[in-house]
Structures are given as structure tokens and as C-alpha cells.
Amino acid sequence: MNAHFSSPRENILQLGLREGMKVGDFGAGSGHYARAAAAIVGHGGRVYAIDVQEDVLKHLKLNSHVHHQAIMEMVWGDIEKLGGTHLRDATLDAVILANTFFQVENRAELLAEMRRVLKPGGKFMVIDWAGSYGGIGPAPEKVVSEHDAEAFFINGGFHKVKSFRAGAHHYGVIFTAP
């Protein structure tokens, strides 16, 4: 793992996942977080890797260990739309939103969908770029500061549990659902 980037295996430990939990990786992309979660929740659990790009999910399936494939379910869906993840209400123990929030255009719908699929008191972890680092992060105008991300989710009814350094260029914040 490149030193510039955050370590999904280390960051996922902040979420306190346990064997048997159901987790949604919203905007799963290359699937580093989905795989790290699958390693913890095990065969009794389930990880839903959700992405709007179908080819990304096919790539993720091909590049995942057979053991993880049995735990992970690839979901072609839109996290920025109520009902867009195709999951049932109050299904998930935890949601991961890693390196995705800065790209979200419809934040209100994302919030509504997260609240819909999370169990009451379920956990949610946002990890995102702390800045624009001369081309390795998002464009400066796309960066969502830790303060702004926190304020957004708190205003949306989530309760902040803690913040942590998620790598040299990333912040992490953990919340619980209302």
C-alpha cells in the first residue's frame, strides 16, 4: 500500500466490526474496504459492495479472493438515490463511505438512503481526503473538510463517536445512526 494513501485494514478496525455483521461499502470502487470488512465479519456476515459503475464491480469480483467472494455481494446501485442500493430497510450494522463523499452530488439523498438501510444505532464511517495534494487528491474545490463532513452528518441526525487520522492525507469520522 502506497504510503500516501490510507490503510483500509487499519482504518476498518476503528469501526469495531464483529463476526456476523452486515456491512455496506457505499461507493466500493476498487473494494479495499469491502475486502477488509469481509475479513472481519466472516462467513456469518455479509458485505455489500455498492457502486454505480458496473465494470468496477466486475473487476472487484475478479480480483477478490474466493474466501472473500463468498462473503461479499456486488450491488450495482446508486447510493445517491433513496432505494438506490436495493437493500431492505434497517438491514445494515455498518456503512463505510471511503474516498467517496467528495464526489457525491446529491448529499440529501445519500443521507436518506444511509438512514434507511442502517439499523437504529448502526455505525457509519466516513473517510475522505483532508485536502488536495498537488494532483494526488481531488481538485481543491471538490475537497470536503472534516468539519463540513461532520456538520453535514450531525445535522442529518447522526451522532459523532470519534475522529481519527486515516492516513497522511485522510481524515476519518465514526458516527452512529439515529
Q: What is the pLDDT along the chain (178 residues), one digit of tens a residue?
A: 344 466 999 999 999 999 999 999 999 998 999 999 999 999 999 999 999 999 999 999 988 888 788 999 999 999 999 999 999 999 999 999 999 999 999 999 999 999 999 999 999 999 999 999 887 889 999 999 999 999 999 999 999 999 999 999 999 999 999 9
CATH number of 8-176: 3.40.50.150
> Exposure of 142 by Cβ count < 10 A (0-12 exposed, 13-18 middle, 19+ buried)?
exposed
Please, what's the b/e burial string for 1-35 (b: 16 or more CB within 10 A of its CB; e: otherwise)? eeeebbbbeebbebbebeeebbbbbbbbbebbbbb
Q: Which residue has the cell 442529518?
A: 156
* Distance, CA of 101 to CA of 112 (rounded, Å): 14
